[in-house]
Amino acid sequence: MAKLFLSLSFLLLFHGCLAFQQQNECQIQRINAVEPRERIESEAGFTEFFDSNDQQFQCAGVEVIRHQIQPQGLLLPSYTNAPILFYVEQGNGYQGMMLPGCPETYEESQQQFQGRQGGQSLQDRHQKIQEFHQGDMVAIPSGAAHWIYNNGQDDLVLIVLLDSTNFANQLDQYHRRFFLAGNSQQGQQQQGRQQQQGRQQRSWGRRQQGQSQEAGSNNIFQGFDVEVLAEAFNVDRETAEMLRCEDDRRGHIVRVERGLQVVSPSMRRQEQWQGQQGGRGRGRDNGFEETICSMKVRANIDDVSQADVYNPEAGHCNHLNSFKLPILRLLQLSAERGVLHRNAIMAPHWIMNAHNIIYVTNGNMRMQIVNHEGQAVFDDQIQERQLVVVPQNFAVVKQAGEQGCRWIAFRTNDNAMINTLAGKTSAIRALPVDVLTNAYQMSREEAQRLKYNRDETVMFSPGSMSSRGRPPRD
């Protein structure tokens, strides 16, 4: 752990603002690695839901979903009452986030436009679009409408954290998605392995008691009178009716037949620069940098050259916090990308100020999670595409399996602070030898070994065990 960083983050707490997360029910006796339980299918992809009634999600006050969007699939515009942080597990795409009062800064020049459109006279302009790629983390504030499009060749897979108990949500603790288009009432059909589990369908947001299980979510325009909409948009009644999407059976992810046409710098430059950049178009400035409207919402968390913790024998970690991506200050969330090599160990540790939601993207690892009574509430393998919540302050240790392990972790604090129990910056090393000898009833030599035998910081190589004191394994 970089000392400067931790000191800074503490100082920030003092001089700036205090993180807040509502309190939850955390009387947890047993945590299980979980997979998505429900699915909403659409024309061009589907969304899976981890069971938000599972105690671990109730404790952390978050919900996790997983979008899988086919090439040329468009996730229709919507907003939620919870802030969102998502990781791009696979593929390339872009999103538009509609911020109130921000100008439409992406516009076609007359020249461009005439070239593309030929004789038509409809020139487009719209708000900024953010591209993202595998390994990126993207933030969306609560209440901000956004849409997502897959412009790649492969399915776009997004792991999405919704922080339902965030201070920004003044409704109750259930996340709700307000769609601006589409009609999931008729379009959605559940398929796949979850079908046998009794709950055939899933609505976006908590369903009312007594309401039909068949009912899904309509878009918000369906709640408005058509006449009023026609007048508000100053269009004819037919156009206003289209906003309601009443006969739309495509679901919430729709296919864009010939590909989405938007104004985007990299869409055009990609062709020229693709060779040089290896297909990875990073965001470029657009000359309108002063305000929230050009706020950065995306950061790569997968680049080993930017690792915060690096041990060639053991693995590495990239942290994404509000120092790197300031919008996380507003969201009160942060993230970690972790990579452990074969059999390597992540130091036993606890996080002081955040819950930790861990999703394995590749390989597997054994985890042990220990509560305040010294009981392991989790002691199991966590496999690819499984998820586990480590509640705040619970102690945890991880050891990668034979294939190593990669994971993404979401944290409910914009500057989560980790305390290790073993290694160079650990609590044990911070203790005087004499406290160790008395606490653990051991000799000074044993205490010294406990403090100094592991000189690595967070990621421990499996082979670094000194032969000196190592007992034969039974």
- By CB under 8 A, the residues from 204 to 263 that bind a copy of itself are 204-206, 208-209, 215-225, 227-239, 242-243, 245, 248, 254, 256, 260-263
CA-nearest of 158, 194, 193 to 361 is: 158
Pairing of strands 38-42, 45-49: antiparallel
Site for a copy of itself in 52-111 (CB under 8 A): 59-61, 74, 76-77, 79, 81, 96, 98-104, 106
The CB-of-397 to a copy of itself minimum distance in angstroms stands at 6
> What are 96's strand-pairing partners?
129, 147
The CB-of-214 to a copy of itself minimum distance in angstroms stands at 12
**What gap in Å lies between CA 175 and CA 414, rounded to an integer?**
20
**Cβ contacts of 319-326, under 8 Å, gap ≥ 24:** 320/137, 321/9, 321/414, 321/415, 321/416, 322/414, 322/415, 323/5, 323/8, 323/9, 323/415, 324/299, 325/137, 325/139, 325/296, 325/297, 325/298, 325/299, 326/295, 326/296
Using the structure block, give the residue that is written with the tokens 């710098």. 265
**Among 90, 393, 401, 404, which residue interacts with a copy of itself (rule: CB under 8 A)?**
393
The CB-of-278 to a copy of itself minimum distance in angstroms stands at 27
**What gap in Å lies between CA 466 and CA 474, rounded to an integer?**
18
Nearest residue (CB) to a copy of itself, 12 versus 34:
12
Site for a copy of itself in 22-51 (CB under 8 A): 22-27, 29
The CB-of-204 to a copy of itself minimum distance in angstroms stands at 7
The CB-of-419 to a copy of itself minimum distance in angstroms stands at 5
Stretch that binds a copy of itself, among 192-200, 267-275, 304-312, 416-424 (CB under 8 A): 416-424
Identify whether the C-beta of residue 252 lies closer than 8 Å to the C-beta of residue 187.
yes
Query: Under the criterion CB under 8 A, does residue 427 sit at the interface with a copy of itself?
Result: yes
**What gap in Å lies between CA 296 and CA 275, rounded to an integer?**
26
Nearest residue (CB) to a copy of itself, 135 versus 173:
173
Q: Kindly report the number of other CB atoms within 10 A of residue 88's CB atom.
A: 23
**Among 10, 191, 193, 362, which residue interacts with a copy of itself (rule: CB under 8 A)?**
10
| Residues near a copy of itself (CB under 8 A), total | 188
Q: Kindly report the number of other CB atoms within 10 A of residue 124's CB atom.
A: 14
Q: Kindly report the number of other CB atoms within 10 A of residue 132's CB atom.
A: 24
Nearest residue (CB) to a copy of itself, 195 versus 452:
452
The CB-of-282 to a copy of itself minimum distance in angstroms stands at 21
The CB-of-51 to a copy of itself minimum distance in angstroms stands at 20
Nearest residue (CB) to a copy of itself, 35 versus 270:
270
The CB-of-472 to a copy of itself minimum distance in angstroms stands at 9
Question: Could you give the 3-state DSSP secondary structure of residue 391?
Answer: coil
Query: Under the criterion CB under 8 A, does residue 296 sit at the interface with a copy of itself?
Result: no
Nearest residue (CB) to a copy of itself, 116 versus 193:
116
Nearest residue (CB) to a copy of itself, 334 versus 413:
413
- Return the beta strands (E) in 38-117 as ranges: 38-42, 45-49, 63-69, 73-80, 84-90, 92-98, 106-107
Site string for a copy of itself, 113-142 (x = CB under 8 A): -------x-x-x-xx-x-----------xx
**What gap in Å lies between CA 423 and CA 365, rounded to an integer?**
20
**Length of the chain as a residue count:** 474
Backbone angles phi, psi at 327, to 5 degrees: -60, -20
Question: Could you give the 3-state DSSP secondary structure of residue 219?
Answer: coil
Site for a copy of itself in 147-186 (CB under 8 A): 147, 149, 165, 167-173, 176-182
Using the structure block, give the residue that is written with the tokens 């509609």. 98
Site string for a copy of itself, 265-284 (x = CB under 8 A): --------------------
Query: Under the criterion CB under 8 A, does residue 144 sit at the interface with a copy of itself?
Result: yes
Site for a copy of itself in 319-378 (CB under 8 A): 326-327, 329-330, 332, 345, 347-348, 350-355, 366, 368-377
